[in-house]
């Protein structure tokens, strides 16, 4: 099964709003086993939309369109799709849709006059109810099915899950496993593993929380699907060893919390460049109180000295962004909290350089972190590296990867 997605709206085309609808549909199509070939954005121009929808006719099994189903004059998606399929003479008022509109507007005549066109469809259309707004969607067409949905994301997402999914039939099964890889960036991962295979596919994704490898298998046979998926996951395990943090559907912070909880251990943090991001990412996880003792934001030098006993001499001699200062931050944090796992960060966000430090069972590990991007991206990278380090250190698996 082949599909194309169209998002309709000049605001999307100009970059004024994000096209979250296409992302949502694309993810759902993968779960449904439908091959997505293209995602296209078209402005509120009926002729351009006509050419785009006409081009898709006969090429795809499904054409998913979001946007342009409103009551205004420039909302012409339905009318344009009808013109492509030559269904203009079939247009009738759908009584059920009209009754829903009347209820929504409490029979207010002016509103009903403007919105009445939303209840008019080809006789052959399958109507898709909109339980979140006024614009019903529809499925029209024979060989190529045009699935028309409203633009507001809340309306579109509900309609897709409640109305569209039950009407899509495919025998192809698709299943994915996300493998979270520690410390390595996307290109480093790509150098270590063959990404050219198709059964299964293995693809790296650089997310804000770190890099993942997605192993995806597809088959009409369940046994073949599971065997293909296992082959891909085993390849990742054999290639990356302990750097594969988890294949479960959990965040890195969840992995760290689970490791500490199993050992009955506690964590504390002293953060400069990350400004509380490390502690916040841990607190975001339910059950964080089982392992998180306390946390400090020691941004200014005098606070590093006051709370962590970092010496001014060390700062002056080595600079505040140095492994020596990170080490003294760890020592001071451990003395203040007595936590089993102590974490520290210091860095220059504008230069993209930092030091991430971990103290565990009396041993200190300090890693230089370099990152490109804006201030917040650099801070996220430092946080991610520190969490990755922490998991490997608590597991006793970091020593072999200090140099990578």
Residues 259 and 379 in one domain: yes
Strand partners, 297: 271
Residues 345 and 204 in one domain: no
Question: Would 402 be classed as within a structural domain?
Answer: no
3-state secondary structure of 129: coil
- Report CA 92 to chain centroid distance, whole Å: 41
Backbone φ and ψ for 344, nearest 5 degrees, come out as -145, 145
Q: Are strands 137-140 and 292-297 parallel, antiparallel or unpaired?
A: unpaired
Last residue of a domain, one of 122, 141, 164: 164
Q: Are strands 267-271 and 292-297 parallel, antiparallel or unpaired?
A: parallel
Report the domain count for the chain. 3
Last residue of a domain, one of 219, 246, 273: 246
Question: Would 382 be classed as within a structural domain?
Answer: yes
Question: Would 192 be classed as within a structural domain?
Answer: yes
Report the residue count for the chain: 404
Q: DSSP assignment of 74-99, as one string? A: T--HHHHHHHHHT-GGGEEE-HHHHH
Residues 126 and 149 in one domain: yes
Question: Would 272 be classed as within a structural domain?
Answer: yes
Residues 135 and 211 in one domain: no
Nearest to 104 by CA among 132, 69, 76, 143: 132
Residues 279 and 340 in one domain: yes
Question: How many C-beta neighbours within 10 Å does residue 127 have?
Answer: 16
| Boundaries of domain holding 381 | 252-395
Residues 197 and 179 in one domain: yes
Task: State the Cα–Cα distance between residues 14 and 265, nearest whole angstrom.
Answer: 51
Residues 283 and 327 in one domain: yes
Residues 261 and 360 in one domain: yes
Residues 325 and 366 in one domain: yes
CATH number, residue 241: 3.30.70.2860
CATH number, residue 388: 3.90.950.20
Dihedral class, residue 201 (left if φ above 0, else alpha if ψ from -120 to 50, else beta):
beta
Nearest to 386 by CA among 367, 360, 362: 367
Q: DSSP assignment of 50-80, as one string? A: HHHHHHHTTT-SEEEEES--SSSTT--HHHH
Residues 144 and 6 in one domain: yes
Question: Would 266 be classed as within a structural domain?
Answer: yes
Nearest to 275 by CA among 175, 365, 354, 212: 354
Nearest to 46 by CA among 94, 82, 86, 5: 82
Residues 63 and 157 in one domain: yes
- Helix (H) / strand (E) containing 228: helix 222-240
Question: Would 104 be classed as within a structural domain?
Answer: yes
Q: Which two tokens stand for residue 313?
A: 């001499």
Whether omega for the bond prior to residue 389 falls within 30 degrees of 0, making it cis, is no
CATH number, residue 15: 3.40.980.10
Question: Would 220 be classed as within a structural domain?
Answer: yes
Question: How many C-beta neighbours within 10 Å does residue 311 have?
Answer: 14
Question: Would 401 be classed as within a structural domain?
Answer: no
Last residue of a domain, one of 246, 270, 305: 246
Residues 89 and 212 in one domain: no
Per-residue pLDDT of the chain (404 residues; tens, 9 = 90+): 899 999 999 999 999 999 999 999 998 998 788 999 999 999 999 999 999 999 999 999 999 999 999 888 888 999 999 999 999 999 999 999 998 888 888 766 655 676 889 999 999 999 999 989 889 999 999 999 999 999 999 999 999 999 999 898 777 788 889 999 999 999 999 999 998 888 899 999 888 899 999 999 988 899 999 999 999 999 999 999 999 999 999 999 999 999 999 999 999 999 999 999 999 999 999 999 999 999 999 999 999 999 999 999 999 999 999 999 999 999 999 999 999 999 999 999 999 999 999 999 999 999 999 999 999 999 999 999 999 999 999 999 999 999 88
């Amino acid at each position: 099964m082949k599909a194309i997605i169209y998002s309709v709206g000049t605001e999307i085309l100009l970059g004024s709003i994000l096209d979250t609808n296409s992302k949502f549909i694309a993810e759902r199509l993968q779960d449904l086993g439908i091959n997505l070939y293209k995602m296209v954005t078209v402005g509120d121009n009926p002729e351009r939309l006509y050419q785009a929808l006409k081009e898709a006719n006969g090429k795809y099994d499904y054409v998913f369109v979001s946007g342009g189903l409103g009551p205004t004059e420039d909302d012409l998606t339905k009318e344009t799709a009808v013109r492509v399929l030559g269904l203009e003479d079939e247009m009738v008022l759908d009584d059920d849709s009209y009754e829903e509109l009347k209820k929504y507007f409490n029979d207010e005549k002016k509103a009903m006059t403007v919105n009445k066109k939303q209840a008019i469809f080809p006789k052959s259309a399958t109507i898709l109810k909109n339980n979140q707004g006024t614009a019903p969607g529809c499925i029209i067409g024979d060989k190529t099915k045009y699935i028309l949905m409203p633009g507001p994301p809340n309306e579109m997402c509900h309609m897709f899950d409640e109305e569209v999914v039950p009407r899509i039939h495919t025998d192809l099964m698709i299943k994915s496993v996300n493998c979270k890889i520690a410390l390595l960036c996307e290109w480093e991962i790509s150098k270590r593993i063959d990404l050219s295979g198709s059964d299964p596919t293995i693809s790296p994704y650089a997310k804000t929380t770190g890099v993942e490898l997605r192993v995806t298998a597809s088959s009409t046979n369940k046994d073949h699907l599971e065997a293909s998926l296992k082959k891909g996951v085993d390849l990742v395990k054999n290639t990356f060893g302990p750097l594969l943090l988890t294949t479960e559907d959990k965040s890195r912070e969840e992995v760290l919390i689970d490791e500490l909880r199993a050992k009955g251990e506690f964590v504390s943090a002293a953060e400069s460049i990350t400004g509380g991001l490390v502690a916040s990412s841990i607190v975001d996880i339910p059950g964080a109180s089982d392992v998180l003792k306390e946390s400090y934001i020691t941004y200014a030098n005098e606070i590093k000295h006051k709370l962590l006993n970092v010496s001014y001499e060390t700062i002056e001699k080595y600079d505040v962004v140095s492994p020596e200062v990170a080490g003294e931050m760890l020592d001071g944090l451990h003395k203040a909290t007595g936590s089993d796992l102590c974490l520290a960060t210091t860095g220059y966000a504008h230069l993209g350089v930092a030091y991430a430090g971990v103290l565990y069972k009396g041993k200190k590990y300090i890693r230089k972190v370099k990152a490109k991007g804006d201030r917040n991206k650099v801070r996220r990278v430092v946080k991610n590296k520190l969490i990755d380090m922490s998991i490997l250190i608590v597991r006793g698996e970091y020593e072999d990867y200090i140099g990578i």
